[in-house]
Amino acid sequence: MSIRAMEPVRPEVRSLEPYVPGKPVEELERELHISGAIKLASNENPLGPSPLAIEAMAEAIRGVNRYPDGSSYYLREALSEFWGIPIEQIAVGSGSNDLIDVLCRIHLGPGDEAVMSDPAFVMFAIAVRVAGGKLVRVPGRELFHDPDAMLAAVNERTRLVYFSNPDNPTGTMVPRRALDRYFDRVPDHVLTILDEAYFEYVTDPEYPNGLDYLRKGKRVAVLRTFSKIYALAGLRVGYGFFSPELTSLVHRVRLPFNATSVGQAAARASLRDRAQVERSRAVNEAGKKLLFSELPGLGLTLTPTWANFVLARFPGSAVEAARKLERLGIIVRPVTSFGLPPEYARISAGTRAELERLLDGLRRIL
């Protein structure tokens, strides 16, 4: 009996590089036989979920023998009231990654193109290739998106243009004026995706709210998440705002039951806790202030950031520095998988105690 050497799969899938997440604390502790490790690698909220969300999860878990509400109706209703967008224009996903994938599958096929900045969130690049589209990367300008250059890359085959705003892994922002100029010029056949995962962390008055473009009738999809400031990353709840027609298509293409009952309940409760958002934003600002105060003195160069992390350029290899920090029980994120040089790493803005431990570790290894 003959045995195939390789599975007969699409070549664009076989050539994919898988997404590399930040190393879990449990994995590091298992590898090194240690305890008490800290993770500053995945842009997570160090405060944890709202007490209201924890209470809602405890109640919802009693019903996990039943399938969840497949339409996430009550969560979409809460989001509609919170943001002032009709429920018919809202869809929920298993994280905003899920909705990125759905949008790519709706719009892309052989010969269709999608434009993104380089670097930007790598999951969009993966979703484009899985859908069968052609990815067009446009180099950023000093680690910022360059909307004019992205527009210049648009042609009659372009179906999607993706903005990660603020960007991951750089933390940089596209300001309102630049995005206004972009929307004034982008052709009508292009859907623009605004990935606003870090929306709630931004306090800069020049930061644009993607919903303003949706309300003006622009062809735009605005994606947000409960993973960041709401601290529900482990539950995977994202959401998006679209035109009514596109929302209908998203509901047709997304997987059924793509948001768990526990996740839906926690997300709804989180929206009621404005104080938790303010506390999280304050901790983030204090953390970034400490990092910008101390890291340059250790030889690290920091990129301006509007998110809940900093992108740091190390004086040598950040990959090697990250390995040494792991031996001290500290996890940071080299970003070579995003296409950046090995000197760069991403560091989350954790609590003061976590960041003091990081700084002590850096003083020991640099």
pLDDT at 350 over 80: yes
Classified as helix, coil or strand, 263 is helix
336 has a pLDDT exceeding 70: yes
What is the reported pTM? 0.95
What local confidence, expressed as pLDDT, does residue 17 receive? 78
What residue has token string 């008490």?
36
Q: What is the pLDDT of residue 16?
A: 80
What gap in Å lies between CA 327 and CA 359, rounded to an integer?
Answer: 15
Q: Tokens 């031996």 identify what position?
A: 327
Give the CA dihedral 149, 150, 153, 154, nearest 10 degrees. -140
Check pLDDT > 90 for residue 6: no
Question: How many Cβ atoms are within 10 Å of 139's Cβ, its own excluded?
Answer: 9
Average pLDDT taken over every residue of the chain? 96
Task: Tell me which amino acid residue 113 is.
Answer: E
pLDDT digits (tens, 9 = 90+) for 62-101: 999 999 999 999 999 999 999 999 999 999 999 999 999 9
pLDDT in tens, 228-280: 999 999 999 999 999 999 999 999 999 999 999 999 999 999 999 999 999 99
For the stretch 12-44, pLDDT in tens is 788 787 787 888 999 999 999 999 999 999 999
Give the integer Cα–Cα distance in Å for 323 and 327.
7
pLDDT tens string 145-162 = 999 999 999 999 999 999
- Check: CB of residue 230 under 8 Å from CB of residue 267: yes
Predicted confidence band of residue 224 (pLDDT cuts 50, 70, 90): very high
The packing angle between helices 96-107 and 122-131, to 10°, is: 40
What torsion do the CA atoms of 228, 232, 238, 239 make, to the nearest 10 degrees?
-90
pLDDT at 103 over 80: yes
Which are the contacts of 58, defined by CB distance < 8 A and separation ≥ 6? none
Distance CA 277, CA 11 (A): 44
Residues 6+ apart with CB under 8 A from 61: 262
Report the percent of the chain where pLDDT is more than 90: 94
What integer is the mean pLDDT of 108-115?
96
- Sorting pLDDT into bands at 50, 70 and 90, what band is 4? low
277: enclosing H helix or E strand: helix 274-294
Report all structural domains of the chain as residue ranges with CATH numbers, in order of start: 11-48+275-365 (3.90.1150.10), 51-271 (3.40.640.10)
Task: Supply the pLDDT for residue 183.
Answer: 98
**Which two three-digit tokens encode residue 352?**
């003061």
Contacts of residues 203-207 at CB distance under 8 Å and 24 or more positions apart, as own/partner, are 203/281, 203/285, 204/173, 204/175, 204/306, 206/173, 206/175, 206/176, 206/177, 207/173, 207/175, 207/176, 207/306
Report the alpha-carbon distance of residue 6 to residue 98 in Å, rounded: 28
Residue 45 pLDDT:
98
First to last CA, the chain: 58
Distance between CA 203 and CA 90 in Å, rounded?
25
How many angstroms separate the CA atoms of 86 and 106, rounded? 22
Can you give 19-51 as a three-state secondary structure string?
Answer: CCCCCCHHHHHHHHCCCCCEECCCCCCCCCCCH
Backbone angles phi, psi at 140, to 5 degrees: -75, 170
Q: What is the average per-residue pLDDT within 173-201?
A: 98
pLDDT computed for residue 1 by the predictor:
44
Which pLDDT does position 5 carry in this prediction? 62
